Amino acid sequence: MQVYEYSQDISALVNLPVDCFISESDQQLEVAFEIVLAPSGDELTLDIVSMETEDSSSEDEDSSQSSSSSESDQDESVSQDDPESEYVEDIYWNLRATEERFRPKLDYMDHLPQILRDLRMNLVDKLTRVVVDLQLDTETLHLAINYLDRIFSNSTSVNLQDLTLIGMTALFIAAKHQSRNPPGAQEFVPRDGGYTKKELLEMEWRLLKTLDFALSAPTSNNFLHIFMSTYPVCETTQNLAVFLADLSLMDVDLLVRHDSSKVAAAALFIANYRVNRENWPEDLDLFSGYPVEDIEDCVDELYKLELISATRPLQGIRTKYKNSMSVIQTASTSQSSSSAPTYWRPFNNTMGHFRLTE
Tell me how long the chain is: 358
Tell me what pLDDT residue 135 has: 92
Tens digits of pLDDT across the chain (358 residues): 444 343 344 333 334 344 443 444 444 434 333 333 334 444 433 343 344 444 444 545 554 454 444 444 444 443 444 555 678 899 999 999 999 889 888 777 776 666 678 888 899 999 999 999 999 999 999 999 999 999 988 877 778 888 999 999 999 999 999 999 999 999 999 988 789 999 999 999 999 999 999 999 999 999 999 999 999 999 999 999 999 999 999 988 899 899 999 999 999 999 999 998 888 889 899 999 999 999 999 999 999 998 888 778 777 788 887 766 544 554 444 443 334 343 343 323 323 333 333 3
The CA distance from 143 to 215, in Å, is 8
Phi-psi region of 277 (alpha: psi -120 to 50; beta: other; left: phi over 0): left
Residue 10 pLDDT:
34
Is the pTM of the predicted complex or chain greater than 0.75?
A: no
Phi and psi at residue 134, in whole multiples of 5°? -90, 0
Residue 322: its pLDDT value, please? 72
Residue 35, beta-bridge partner list: 46
pLDDT of residue 357: 33
pLDDT of residue 313: 74
Q: What b-and-e string marks burial along 307-330, b requiring 16 or more CB atoms within 10 Å of the CB?
A: eebeeeebebbbebbeebbeebee
Cα–Cα distance, 56 to 42 (Å, whole number):
33
Q: How far apart, in whole angstroms, are the C-alpha atoms of residue 281 and residue 231?
A: 8
Strand, helix or coil for residue 37: strand
Q: Is 259 left (phi over 0), alpha (psi -120 to 50) or beta?
A: beta
The whole-number pLDDT of residue 269 equals 95
Q: Can you give the pLDDT at residue 3?
A: 40
The pLDDT of residue 186 is: 94
Q: Specify the pLDDT at position 168.
A: 96
Distances (CA, A) of 239 to 45, 258, 327: 62, 22, 9
Which conformational region is residue 4 in: left (phi greater than 0), alpha (psi within -120 to 50 degrees), or beta? beta
